[in-house]
Amino acid sequence: MAGARGRASLGRCWLGGKGGGWAGGSPACGIISSLCFMPAGLKRWLSSAAPAPRVCVVGSGPAGFYTAQHILKHHGGAQVDIYEKLPVPFGLVRFGVAPDHPEVKNVTNSFTQTARSERCAYYGNVTVGRDVTVPELQQAYHAVVLSYGAEDNRVLGIPGENLPGVLSARAFVGWYNGLPENRHLKPDLSCETALILGHGNVALDIARILLAPLPLLRKTDITAGSLAALACSKVKRVWLVGRRGPLQVAFTIKELREMINLPGTRPVLSPADFTGLENAIKDAPRPRKRLTELMIKTALEKPVEKPVEVQAAAAREWGLKFQRSPQEVLPSADGTRVRAVRMALTRLEGSGDSAKAIPTGDVEDLECGLVLSSIGYRSLPLDPAVPFDAQRGVIPNTSGRVEGVPGLYCSGWVKRGPTGVIITTMNDSFDTAQSVLEDLQVGTLDVSSSREGFGAVESILRSRGVRPVSFSDWEKIDAAEVARGRAAGKPREKIVDPQEMLQLVGH
């Protein structure tokens, strides 16, 4: 199929769940509809007695589920198996979305519908690259789609980065969201000042969690362990520091407004950072303009969002610091923990999103007892058989087709890098799924010989002592978490130990 017309059908899609809605383009296309605006030839082909391709998706986050969803909707015979290294599904929806943003998690309702499809199967507790290799999956399936995301963080690469008290944002978010690998993290919250390096939504999420009133957090699915630690926290000031200026921040207005309105806190923004910006944003795109106007208003005026007396009485504060690039993490006198971060002051060359931060030669030490590095996530290579661009942290691909490996595809962050929100990932995953459908139609994927799919993989896993977790197993874990949450007055109490999860399902 000539891609353009087929891909145009991906412009508008139903997000599913109670909070679902239409996103983008024409209402005639959604995941709930059937074949949308597909070219007539592809429609005829899909509705004929086409062979039943077996497709496997590695990763059960948004990218994996959206890829599976689109293939199942638009190929009436395809069977899709989803593999996940954890016993529990949903990836960053479960482990990345902030606990106080439950509406964003409603997409799991449509993912659950997909997993319950008779042509879809979920196999958790299976680590691809270790328990089963990618070449073994390629032998068992007609197409393999890698959607395993970005499971590492970018490092700062500066002296003192490994001092106690310096953590990655990824680990901290994983800790309060119940990611098993971060359950033993013990962030030292005994200091008054925390420093977050980065000006994205994740940085704002972390600042909000650090400063939020406990009654607000108690009503969320934040883990019991992190809630207990935050209850004893001495942190009352959070600085969010970026290399560039107010016109280059990566967070969105919704998250900024939420932070400005956080009860018991006050924003501290320096008016000097915003003088003259009104003229600079006259011709800026509307989202950037509105975001900058809100920062200007917060810096130069008393915010209308909160009464002045409440602001003055706020026990906690947060602020944005600009044009500072971390050079070194400075240790305390006894060398046992972080004392400050030495910042190089920068000037901007260029304008807009392409502006570069150039060190001026001046430095400044920002005192703090906790440093959280929120400068981005990073994908890792999964299997020696899969090409990987270590520089960019992605699998080299064209429209999701892995370069030089027919029948192998990728979607989500491992395809394009760790950027964007769930809707971005949805459209990106549909693009990859469309490539799979096109390759099935034109015969690039040969389905004339049948493949065993999970039948072949199951014997491999058994020989290696691996017992997969089914979706109905996950639903038992889910029910247990919801029941525990109900007892605590929360939507759920996440189980953070994989062994406990496996015991629940009789493994």
420-431 residue pLDDT tens: 788 999 999 999
Segment 425-438 mean pLDDT: 96
Question: What secondary structure letter does DSSP report for 289?
Answer: H
The residue that leads in pLDDT, 420 or 275, is 275
14 — pLDDT class (breaks 50, 70, 90): very low
CA–CA distances in Å: residue 505 to residues 54, 124, 178, 423, 501: 27, 12, 19, 33, 7
pLDDT surpassing 70 at residue 150: yes
Close Cβ partners of 171 (under 8 Å, ≥ 6 residues apart): 153, 182, 185
CA–CA distances in Å: residue 195 to residues 285, 328, 342, 364, 480: 30, 13, 12, 14, 37
Segment 55-73 mean pLDDT: 98
Write down the pLDDT at residue 310: 52
Write down the pLDDT at residue 358: 94
The residue that leads in pLDDT, 137 or 419, is 137
Write down the pLDDT at residue 418: 85
CATH (residue range 51-151+379-469): 3.40.50.720
CA distance 104 to 15: 10
What is the SS3 string spanning 407-428?
Answer: CEEECCHHHHCCCCCHHHHHHH
153 — pLDDT class (breaks 50, 70, 90): confident
pLDDT surpassing 70 at residue 443: yes
Segment 1-21 mean pLDDT: 35
CA distance 167 to 110: 34
Burial 174-183 (b: 16+ CB within 10 A, else e): bbbbbbbebb
Question: What secondary structure letter does DSSP report for 33?
Answer: S
pLDDT digits (tens, 9 = 90+) for 371-394: 999 988 889 899 999 999 999 999
**CA dihedral sign, ordered 239, 244, 246, 248:** negative
Token pair in block for residue 2:
């000539």
Pick the range with the lowest mean pLDDT from 98-102, 117-121, 277-281.
277-281
Query: For the whole prediction, is pTM greater than 0.85?
Result: yes
Write down the pLDDT at residue 308: 54
Using DSSP's 3-state secondary structure scheme, residue 378 falls into: strand
Token pair in block for residue 277:
């910006």
Report strand pairing: 237-241 vs 193-197. Answer: parallel
233 — pLDDT class (breaks 50, 70, 90): very high
Please report which helix (H) or strand (E) contains residue 377, including its range.
strand 377-378
Segment 291-316 mean pLDDT: 72
Segment 194-200 mean pLDDT: 96
Pick the range with the lowest mean pLDDT from 108-122, 288-302, 488-502.
288-302
CA distance 93 to 145: 19
What does the mean pLDDT of the chain come to? Answer: 88
Maximum separation of any 2 CA atoms in the chain, in Å: 75
pLDDT surpassing 50 at residue 6: no
Give the start-to-end residue ranges of the domains of the chain.
Answer: 51-151+379-469, 154-377, 471-507
pLDDT surpassing 70 at residue 307: no
Percent of the chain predicted with pLDDT > 90: 77
Which amino acid, 342? R
Token pair in block for residue 19:
């909070």
Using DSSP's 3-state secondary structure scheme, residue 167 falls into: strand
pLDDT surpassing 80 at residue 3: no
Contacts of the segment 254-261: beta carbons below 8 A, 24+ positions apart = 255/201, 255/204, 255/205, 256/204, 256/291, 256/294, 256/295, 257/294, 257/305, 258/204, 258/208, 259/204, 259/207, 259/208, 259/318, 260/294, 260/298, 260/303, 260/305, 260/306, 261/305, 261/306
CA distance 121 to 313: 54
CA distance 31 to 406: 27
Q: Which position has the token pair 């280059």?
A: 248
DSSP string, 307-376: -HHHHHH-SEEEEEE-SEEEEEEEEPTTSSSEEEEEEEEEEEES-GGG-EEEEEEEEEEEE-SEEEE-S-
> What phi and psi, each to the nearest 5 degrees, are found at residue 219?
-90, 5
Percent of the chain predicted with pLDDT > 70: 87
8 — pLDDT class (breaks 50, 70, 90): very low
pLDDT surpassing 80 at residue 502: yes
Phi-psi region of 32 (alpha: psi -120 to 50; beta: other; left: phi over 0): alpha
**Domain covering 154-377, topology:** FAD/NAD(P)-binding domain (3.50.50)
28 — pLDDT class (breaks 50, 70, 90): very low
21 — pLDDT class (breaks 50, 70, 90): very low
